[in-house]
Chains A and B, each alone.
Chain A
Amino acid sequence: MSNDFYTLKVNGENHQVLDAWTGESLLWVLRERLGFPGAKNACEEGECGSCSVRIDEEIVCSCLVLAGSAIDQEITTIEGLAPEGELGDVQQAFIEAGAVQCGFCTPGLLVTIDHLLEENQNPDDLTVREAISGNLCRCTGYGRILEAVQIAAASRRGENHE
């Protein structure tokens, strides 16, 4: 029942997946085989967004991607949002705004928001809410998360803020 092997490109580097079972999701392979536990597994049925990753230019639920079908694509996880040892602007903003409590929704949100701000550097409240409507958070009520997005957006626009 296994593939011989296949190669996935994650965060800019090729990784071989050996001796895997056909039905494994990308989420599973990232977390359990390739050493990228950042994406989370809160529901594994596409209802929470905690597994969100970027594939090429889009944000998708990695739990709904068959790992073996994600070959020849650029997969970006939370671990690839910033160079090692550094924090990207959205990550910084989350800490500054108090948008992290338990942190389980955080990786999915960061990937989603990073992508949103790439496309739109001045999103209004409703646009942000719709963009993150697929990312459930149980701890924060979204208030500090929305604040973090505005802080990061200002940063993207090149505005200084205290």
Chain B
Amino acid sequence: MSDLKIETPVSGPRIGESAPRPDGVPKVNGSFAFSSDLWHKNMLWGGTLRSPFPSARITRLDITEALLIDGVQAVLTHEDVPGQNLYGLEHADQPVMAEEIIRYEGEPVAIVAADHPEIVRRALNAIQVEYEEMAPLTDPELAEETDFIHPDGNLIRRINLRHGDQEVQGEIQVEGIYEVGMQDQAFLGLESGLAVPGEDGGVDLYISTQWLHADRSQVASCLGLEEERVRITLAGVGGAFGAREDLSLHVHLCMLAMRTNRAVKMIYSREESFHGHVHRHPAKMWYRHHADSKGNLLRVEAKVLLDGGAYASSSGAVIANATCFAAGPYRIPSADIEGVVVRTNNPPCGAMRGFGAVQTCVGHEAQMDKLASALNMDPVEIRIKNALKPGDKLLTGQTITGTAPVAEVIQTCAEHTSTYQESTDPMSLPGGAGRTADPEHISRGEAIAVGFKNLMFSEGFDDFSSALCQLENGVATITCACAEVGQGFVTLAQQITREILGVEEVILAPAATQTVGSAGSTSASRQTWMSGGAVQKACEEVRVKLLEKLAVEHQVDIDNLVLVDGQVTSLNEDFTISLEEATSEPLEARVEYRHAPTFPLDENGQGDAHVSFAFSAHKAVVDVDPELGLVKVVELITSQDVGRLLNPLQAVGQLEGGAAQGLGLAVMEEVLVTEGNIRNASFTDYLIPTALDMPPVEIAAIIEQPEPGAPFGAKGIGEPPSISSTAAVVAAIREATDLELPRVPVRFTDIVSVEED
């Protein structure tokens, strides 16, 4: 089995430098072990039988035929779940396998372990299930009036936010109804893992995930085991973007391994993956913005309705974000925002990069453009005029005590002169190799959008991370359960350690539940702050321990000792010692790191619920073929507020990658659901941008205003790029076509009006 330890090159850069990834070499030479690459002697393959119906009752389930197939080692149903047959991120409301009621298409019904995947497939086909189909609840607007489809009810969460003077009315009012379709995270690395039964009756699970310890507690509960006997180690992750925050095949794999007493591996197919993880909540949003004749925002009224699908996942937190950030990074003295997320028989929805703020950004930015138009104001000017500043209050009544360079973000983005040399090749036109248009058929549009959201978890959640730092013979080893999903935390962990301990070699131990405490989730743009903070704290404690020890042992003044480049040296006394010699006996520190406390929202949605905020702006240039409705995004320009740039090269990667996902949602990405059935569960018809669709992303400005309270002053940067990018692209299409376009993704027929037969 591949060694999961990540080793580093001997010398390396520190904070603020473009350190190369420690896992870069194995990733480019093909030796990096993703969770789908794992192998174990004598292992079996697992598979899942799923419901083809979104709403049904199981009337018969017969596994006997399947068990008779040569090579089948286990066939399990809900009856075989050793512990609790329910799990969930916020509420344990989702069965490991359906008992009687099916609530979404693809809900697991049975699992199989066999010698070869082809035998697994035959076994799944041999399981006899009879379903009594029921009419699915598919319209979220009807959910609260319809019979419960789940004992917990059809309302997952409602938030009524009332801020300021509710009697305020504006001289200028603009309204709109906006929709955002269901986006999928579409990570490349399919759900996969390996479970190995432990000799202690427990289980070792090697898996791709975002949050090892949350997985562990849910898995342990479902297996009826103490947490110590469920050992989860992070295997190589092929992207996450929110889709791995919930359990997928975890419990299934462990059950099969424990039943057969053999290692079991499972990999979802791409089609199965679409059914096997949560998606971004589709949204319908009603807005009314009030302003005075000078363009000052006076009041925002909105209702945001999210379709949570069959199970709750993290919907409660998503609607909170959508509500709190519903009106955008602007100063708004009065607001009435209702945020609702409901349960339906549609595919379950949960975390995806941007987490509620993506949807409302589409709404609030469209509204800002409508206001600008109504007032005959420049769209950039009206945004800067109302831009939040430190000291301003949010819709939740919380005062911004950190940095908020919103006006700068907008200004730098708007004023940026592009250096991009456009191609005149016909391939660059909308339609590409399809050669559908000539230059005279094209209309160009350009527009700007701004967005923001919180960093880290909110509403009083006990948000923390843990790290262990060990220093021996001049080599530091960091153990942190932060899930590396591609974002580059592993690089930062080394940079931070080198910065504080002056070491060259930093070893990163595997992320595992049995060796270190929780790092929390790789989501909410929180890991740089939280796990970076934990690593910083642990390294600091080791540094202090080392210097204290040296000061005593060598009778030198501790205040004058510095730790640089592998040496500890006194600044005013004749003393120096190599780190290697000084740490011949190991030193270590194990810490937990927490951010400043947050508080719940009261019955009016008011409270200091968040820690910190990050802001971004995008300018999009698009070419549209109005007669055919084809769109090519020509360029994206962005500015972002980052606090402090810890690794410039990795930061660029986040800004470019997030913008690609935003572009996808604007023009091509949607999980098409009809009567609860997904129609496009494949990469043939769920389209993400290729290299021919994605334009260059030019960075106008990366704004560094160190955030008080943040380790190194750095804000998380992962989500903002995916927030304002969608809104900017659709706004640019509006500019090019003069159409309202209230829905994303924008389809051909939104741009071209055709007469239906």
Contact = CB atoms under 8 A, between A and B. Distances in A.
Q: Are A and B direct contacts in the complex by CB distance below 8 Å?
A: yes
Interface stretch (B166-174, B237-245, B506-514): B237-245
Interface in A72-99: 77-79, 81-82, 87, 91, 94-98
A89 to B, nearest CB: 11
Give chain A's interface secondary structure class: loop
A162 interface: no
A17 to B, nearest CB: 14
B20 A96 contact: yes
B34 A40 contact: yes
A128 interface: yes
A69 B377 CA distance: 66
A44 B39 CA distance: 19
A98 B28 contact: no
Contacts of A43: 270, 682-683
Contact of B657 (A21, A23, A140, A146): A140
A142 B691 contact: yes
Nearest to A130: B692
A136 interface: yes
Most buried by B among A36, A91, A143: A143
Contacts of A106: 27-28
A103 B32 contact: yes
A36 B2 CA distance: 12
A145 B487 CA distance: 15
Contact of A95 (B20, B423, B691, B696): B20
B270 A129 contact: no
Contacts of A36: 30
B247 interface: no
Interface string A117-149: 000000001101110111111111111111000
Contacts of B439: none
A45 interface: yes
A117 B655 CA distance: 28
A105 to B, nearest CB: 6
Interface stretch (B182-190, B411-419, B458-466): B182-190
Given A41-B190, A79-B29, A101 B657 contact: yes
B593 to A, nearest CB: 25
Contacts of A47: 682-684
Nearest to B423: A126
B650 A50 contact: no
A48 interface: yes
B188 A77 contact: no
A136 B30 contact: no
A137 B30 CA distance: 16
Contacts of A102: 187-189, 237-239, 485-486
B683 A45 contact: yes
Contacts of A41: 36, 190, 267
A10 interface: no
Nearest to B237: A102
Contacts of B37: 31, 37
A143 B18 contact: no
B189 A104 contact: yes
Interface string A25-61: 0000001100011111111110110100000000000
A141 B27 contact: no
Contact of B692 (A31, A133, A140): A133
Nearest to A124: B423
B10 to A, nearest CB: 15
A106 B486 CA distance: 12
Nearest to A94: B28
Contacts of A82: 29
Contacts of A77: 30
A104 B34 CA distance: 8
Contacts, number: 173
A104 B692 contact: no
Contact of A136 (B428, B652, B683): B683
A120 to B, nearest CB: 16
B653 A140 contact: yes
Contact of A42 (B23, B190, B697): B190
B486 A101 contact: yes
A107 to B, nearest CB: 5
Question: Which residue among A47, A48, A82, A98 has the maximum number of chain B CB atoms within 10 Å of its CB?
Answer: A98
A70 interface: no
Nearest to B721: A141
A133 B18 contact: no
Contact of A139 (B29, B30, B32, B653): B653
Given A47-B682, A47-B684, A144-B652, A98 B27 contact: no
Nearest to A38: B30
B435 interface: no
B25 interface: yes
Interface in B94-130: 116, 118
Contacts of A125: 423
A125 B488 CA distance: 27
Contacts of B661: 138
A34 to B, nearest CB: 12
Interface centre among A38, A130, A138 (most CB of B within 10 A): A138
Interface in B654-702: 656-661, 682-684, 688-692, 694, 696-697
Contacts of B425: 126
Interface string B12-30: 0000001011011101111
Contacts of B697: 141, 143
Nearest to B649: A98
Given A31-B37, A77-B30, A79-B30, A100 B188 contact: no
Given A42-B189, A94-B24, A98-B650, A142 B428 contact: no
B269 interface: yes
Interface of A: 21, 23, 31-32, 36-45, 47-48, 50, 77-79, 81-82, 87, 91, 94-98, 100-107, 110, 125-126, 128-130, 132-146
Given A42-B270, A81-B29, 9 more contacts: A47-B682, A77-B30, A78-B29, A79-B30, A98-B649, A101-B487, A101-B657, A103-B32, A141-B689
14 contacts: A42-B188, A42-B189, A94-B24, A97-B649, A98-B653, A101-B239, A103-B238, A104-B188, A105-B188, A106-B28, A130-B433, A138-B241, A138-B660, A139-B239
Q: Which 8 A-B pairs have the closest CB atoms?
A: A38-B30, A102-B486, A103-B27, A104-B238, A141-B660, A141-B656, A47-B683, A101-B486
